[in-house]
Structure 1
Amino acid sequence: MPSALRNLVTQTAIPGILGGLGPLAHVDFERQLIQLNAKRYPGQDQHHPVWVVVSATNIPDRTLSLAGEQESCTPWLIRYGQCLQRIGADFMVVTCNTAHAFYEQVQPNLAIPWLHLMDLTSVYIRRQHPHCSQIGILATDGTVRSQLYEHSLRYQGLTPISLSLGSKSQQQVMDAIYHPQWGIKSTGDRVAPLAHEALAAAIEVLKDQGAQLIIAGCTELSVAFNRLPPPGLPWVDPLEVAAQTTINLAWGIEQLGILPLQNSAS
């Protein structure tokens, strides 16, 4: 770690956050970092770890990129990951679920590890919710199509339940995120009633299919669920899981070499 960026002598790693996907995702993630760290080390500003952020709002839409409707996100993710690397980050967190579909193309081009949200979340569920084996997934079409959570959950012995591409319920999730008038990308940190209703309806479908727990598998959904009443099932926010891991890595409580860094796709 470059000495110029080192905070307290106990900080052993500098997190690099690739945000801007969408524009609120890294803001909510940083809020979680601050809140989690303050519970452990209340007091001075200097008791918070140093981290670096790139708000990469010009990366093409991940879902459209995967569908071949926009250019590939791979070179953009590599460029910004290398930017974080040059600044002094020791590992990278990308605050976008769908971006992880490009993980295997991006990671070999970086000298620092990219923490894999799906692997971290699946391990967390297995450990912290041992009685939940049927896991519902709310995510974009791109994440569902790429089977990102399905691979990681199955690797942990869990059963994924996702909405079918093209179904009414999956379209409700997409509308809650992308609708030009009331989708979360349009309304920011205010969740419109129609978005709330759409998500509630989709959750009911997952519940009817046997889901015992819900993954908020899109960072806009993480933002929404943190501002809405409980969704009717236990839910896990992958950003919160990643935030806890990030704090632990920064202070040396966990080590990079023993994390589940995308060992599940094979």
Structure 2
Amino acid sequence: MKTIGLIGGMSWESSAEYYRIINQGVRDRLGPTASAQILMWSFNFAEIEELQHRGDWEALTARMVDAALLLEGGGADVLLICTNTMHRMAEEVQRAVNIPLIHIADPTAERIKAAGFTRVGLLGTAFTMEQDFYKGRLMAQHGLDVLIPGEEDRATVHRIIYEELVAGIVTEASREAYRQVMARLVERGAQALILGCTEIMLLVKPEDSTVPQFDTTAIHAQAAIDQSASV
């Protein structure tokens, strides 16, 4: 079994889901007492959030590279960044290490294409929805047509992530707000929806939209299982 290196703590709420999903998947695949070999570097998300909103991506990149090198040095065979937003510096992280980094957008796109969808709505932080590092990869490398919510809806989605979900707060009012955002994306032609923030799965469930949802947390974790565990 390969050792999985997780760069987490962004937030720990979703990192805990990674740990749970990966271990459950390894147990299902290898037997009732099996569990995954995992190393995790967990950031203090308060520091990460401050740098994100200051726009200091250079400092954030340095921290991510340092974490990746620590995990590689500790014996990790494969790396995951347990957040969509911080894939903004995925290429820099991959260049810094000699082990593969599983980019969260790639297995997600493969699932979407295998299901026969070509036009998807993207939910995530404002950074993920508005900057090109994520939706650009989906379009350029995977040929998907990516829709993002309108300005007001993007602000709502972002606010709920940072003010509620990263703190483990889940409310029916916020679930309803997301339902409305998703419905508007569907009205614009989205055939499916990407839950492109690893905390959104804490709030949104399959029944909250009329089209299929692709949960990046679960898909990313499954990709780690596929690379690390063999029967």
- Taking structure 1 as the reference length, the TM-score comes to 0.79
User: 1:114 aligned to 2:117?
Assistant: no
Q: 1:216 to 1:61 in 2, by over 3 A?
A: same
User: Corresponding residue for 1:235?
Assistant: 213
* Residues 38-187 of structure 1: pairs in structure 2 closer than 5 A: 38-44=27-33, 47-58=34-45, 60-61=47-48, 65=52, 68=55, 72-127=59-114, 129-130=115-116, 132-154=117-139, 155-164=141-150, 167-179=151-163, 183-186=164-167
Task: Flag the structure with more relative contact order, 1 or 2, with Cα contacts below 8 A and sequence separation at least 6.
Answer: 2
User: Corresponding residue for 1:260?
Assistant: none
Q: Could you tell me how far apart the structure 2 residues matched to 1:177 and 1:158 are?
A: 25
Which one of the candidate residues 17, 22, 27 is aligned to 1:28?
Answer: 17
SS of structure 2 residue aligned to 1:176: helix
**Aligned pairs, number:** 230
Q: Could you tell me how far apart the structure 2 residues matched to 1:233 and 1:118 are?
A: 19
User: 1:16 aligned to 2:16?
Assistant: no
User: Corresponding residue for 1:222?
Assistant: 201
User: Corresponding residue for 2:222?
Assistant: 244
Q: Identical aligned pairs, as a percentage?
A: 24
Contact 2:30 2:230 in 1 (8 A): no
Q: Could you tell me how far apart the structure 2 residues matched to 1:63 and 1:217 are?
A: 20
- CA positional deviation for 1:64: 5.3
SS of structure 2 residue aligned to 1:105: helix
Amino acid at match of 2:165: I
Q: Could you tell me how far apart the structure 2 residues matched to 1:69 and 1:195 are?
A: 29
Runs of 4+ in 1 over 4 A off after TM superposition: none
- CA positional deviation for 1:218: 0.5
Amino acid at match of 1:37: V
Q: Could you tell me how far apart the structure 2 residues matched to 1:238 and 1:148 are?
A: 16
Q: Could you tell me how far apart the structure 1 residues matched to 2:27 and 2:103 are?
A: 25
Q: 1:56 to 1:121 in 2, by over 3 A?
A: same
SS of structure 2 residue aligned to 1:215: strand
SS of structure 1 residue aligned to 2:76: coil
- CA positional deviation for 1:69: 6.0
| Structure (1 or 2) with the greater helix fraction | 2
Amino acid at match of 1:162: I
- CA positional deviation for 1:113: 2.0
SS of structure 1 residue aligned to 2:41: strand
User: 1:207 aligned to 2:186?
Assistant: yes
Between 1:194-203 and 1:69-78, the stretch displaced more is 69-78
User: Corresponding residue for 2:170?
Assistant: 191
Where does the alignment leave 5 or more consecutive residues of structure 2 unmatched?
A: none
